[in-house]
Amino acid sequence: MKLSDYPTNIDTYRAVRIEDVEEDTPSVKTFTFRDELYSRAKPGQYIMLWVQGVDEIPLSLSAINSRGLSNVTVERVGEATAALHSRKVGEFVSVRGPYGNSFQPTKGNVLVVGGGVGLAPLLPLTEDLTKLGSEVTLIIGAKTRRDIIFLTKVKPLLEKKGKLIVTTEDGSYGIKGLATNPVEELLTKNVFKMVYTCGPEPMMRRMFEISEGKKVRVQACFERIIRCSLGLCGSCIVGKFRICKDGPIFSSEQLREVLDEFGRYKRDFDGSRVWL
């Protein structure tokens, strides 16, 4: 895909009105707003959202709508996300973007695996895959039943041609265990053309390792600290790649080049290693 295939004039802040707020779980909310550039974004691209007076944070688009409505799904994990969670319908935030590359949809039998809020960029991808006619097996992983997101949204997408598997770490819903637990058996019994994944990095590394063993290609969406989004500050470097510019979607070929770091450690705000 060429740079010209993506929206342009993306670096200027734009004030957007919050049109709707949905509480997905006790710690996760989905915010809806209207923005023309985001309506032309691709699944997997991210935005930079500025909560005035607090901080700017990178967020994946969890819905992309031709009518101009877009969603971000946000877990409350720090000061900026807590401030965003306090915003109500009718209030404004500032945004720029979208940035980065996108998932490349594959026609045929595909496996999509999301852990926690990592499911956010996989939701519009799943919508595109079903429109393409692909047969999607979707695995949703969560800690407990109350942490599961998007269940009511994905069920209608997959009811005609697809399969949904839910795992919870405590066994309170679906299969007990991690999202990666059913993967090896699925890849052994079925022929998949592509594996898509987003979530905690150790989970994605395990997905990559299983897929490599079965010779199935992977597209993984990274979630790291991103500050400038322009490839200048180096905060999001993984090996030789800058997630903000070279990603956030990485192929099997690229993942093989960063195995010393991928799923093992990330960088803190001061650049120091944080082991995963």
Domain shared by 236 and 121, yes or no: yes
**Mean pLDDT, consecutive 10-residue segments, the chain of 276 residues?**
55 92 97 92 96 94 87 95 97 95 97 97 97 96 97 92 96 96 95 97 97 97 90 87 96 97 85 85
E strands, the chain, in order = 14-25, 28-34, 46-51, 55-64, 69-75, 92-99, 109-115, 135-142, 162-168, 175-176, 194-198, 218-221, 237-238, 241-242, 249-251, 265-267, 273-275
Domain shared by 88 and 198, yes or no: no
pLDDT at 7: 55
Domain shared by 74 and 115, yes or no: no
Give the list of residues 6+ apart from residue 175 with CB closer than 8 angstroms, or none. Answer: 165, 166, 167, 168, 181, 182
Nearest-5° angle of CA 122, CA 85, CA 201? 40
- pTM for this model (two decimals): 0.93
Domain shared by 25 and 139, yes or no: no
pLDDT at 11: 73
Beta pairing, strands 265-267 & 241-242: unpaired
pLDDT at 6: 57
d(CA 235, CA 274): 13
**Last-in-domain residue among 81, 99, 117:** 99
d(CA 66, CA 57): 24
d(CA 199, CA 208): 12
Domain shared by 119 and 70, yes or no: no
Domain shared by 248 and 184, yes or no: yes
Tell me how crowded residue 148 is: count the other CB atoms within 10 A of its CB. 23
pLDDT at 206: 97
Beta bridge partners of 110: 136, 194
- Please name the helix (run of DSSP H) or strand (run of DSSP E) that holds residue 191, with its range, or none: none
- Which of these, 133, 108, 263, 130, lies nearest to 194 by C-alpha position? 108
Domain shared by 10 and 136, yes or no: no
Place of tokens 């997101």: 149
> Where in the sequence is the domain holding 27, given as residue range(s)?
3-99
Residue 210 placed within a domain: yes
pLDDT at 72: 97
- Which of these, 143, 97, 74, 84, lies nearest to 245 by C-alpha position? 97
CATH of the domain at 81: 2.40.30.10
**Last-in-domain residue among 99, 126, 157:** 99
**Last-in-domain residue among 76, 99, 122:** 99
Residue 104 placed within a domain: no
Domain shared by 28 and 120, yes or no: no
Domain shared by 68 and 186, yes or no: no
pLDDT at 12: 83
Query: Exposed, middle or buried, 53 (CB in 10 Å: 0-12/13-18/19+)?
Result: exposed
**Residue 248 token pair:** 């956030």
> Is 42 in contact with 102 (CB distance < 8 Å)?
yes
CATH of the domain at 223: 3.40.50.80
Beta bridge partners of 193: none
3-state secondary structure of 79: helix
pLDDT at 267: 83
d(CA 215, CA 204): 16
Domains contained in the chain, number: 2
